[in-house]
Amino acid sequence: MKHILLSMTLALGLLMGSTQVLASEGGAELPSAGVNLRDQASLQRGARLFFNYCVGCHSLQYQRYSRIAEDLGLTEKEVMENLNFTGAKFGEPVISHMPEDQAKQWFGKAPPDLSLEVRAKTADWVYGYLNSFYVDPSRPVGWNNTVFPNASMPFPLWELQGVQTAVKKPGSEEVEKLELSQPGRMTPEQYKQASRDLTNFLAYVAEPAALQRHAYGIWVILFLALFTLLAYALKKEYWKDVH
């Protein structure tokens, strides 16, 4: 038993340690994304943001338009008219219309597919990344990021958030904090909600089956509770004559 407890403690320590390393990547402490897959309105807003600002460069090759409509409570007409800007068919996966050779010419490499981004880096990382861009004239695209330093991606949501500038520590190139030097179309709180919605949508895309599991979960718990009562009643019946 002591060996089992020791193994469990070590495993938990390693898990927490790896999570802490990921959370502190780039020297930035990550805020909580507050992902809630049951918030369908948030998922719909996140989908609108993705298809208006992200799909020009990034694909969701494991996600189909038809599945998005089914899971997010949208009709085929709503999806095809408001989310499909590439001319794809309703049953086809979400593929960016940017040619790969053109993407490499502009950014140095093709933008990654975002289907599994949240599973690979966590929702908190994605949310922190979307809130940590700042203007940096030394970078080829004019932007940098405190969560993912020297990222080659320009900031597609700058019109919504505005322009952040870096305040560096005295005598150091390390970024101490970010300040909003030019307001965007959204207030800071509105932008945080928008980036949370986008992160929520990407969390759904990373594992669409989670919605079904959440829906079935309550029924499984009720079944187990009922089965426990029946098993207890059966046990009482069998053992009532045992002295």
* pLDDT tens profile 48-103: 999 999 999 999 999 999 999 999 999 999 999 999 998 899 999 999 988 777 76
Distance separating alpha carbons of residues 224 and 201, to the nearest angstrom = 31
Distance CA 126, CA 31 (A): 10
145 contacts 166 by C-beta, under 8 angstroms: no
pTM (predicted TM-score): 0.77
Please give the average per-residue pLDDT across 111-127, as a whole number.
Answer: 95
pLDDT of residue 28: 56
Separation between Cα atoms, residue 143 and residue 135, nearest integer Å:
5
Dihedrals phi, psi of 212, to nearest 5 degrees: -65, -40
The architecture that CATH gives domain 31-131+187-235 is: Orthogonal Bundle (1.10)
Is a pLDDT exceeding 80 seen at residue 21?
no
The dihedral of CA 226, 230, 232, 233: what is its sign?
Answer: positive
Query: Please, which pLDDT band fits residue 214 given cuts at 50, 70 and 90?
Result: low
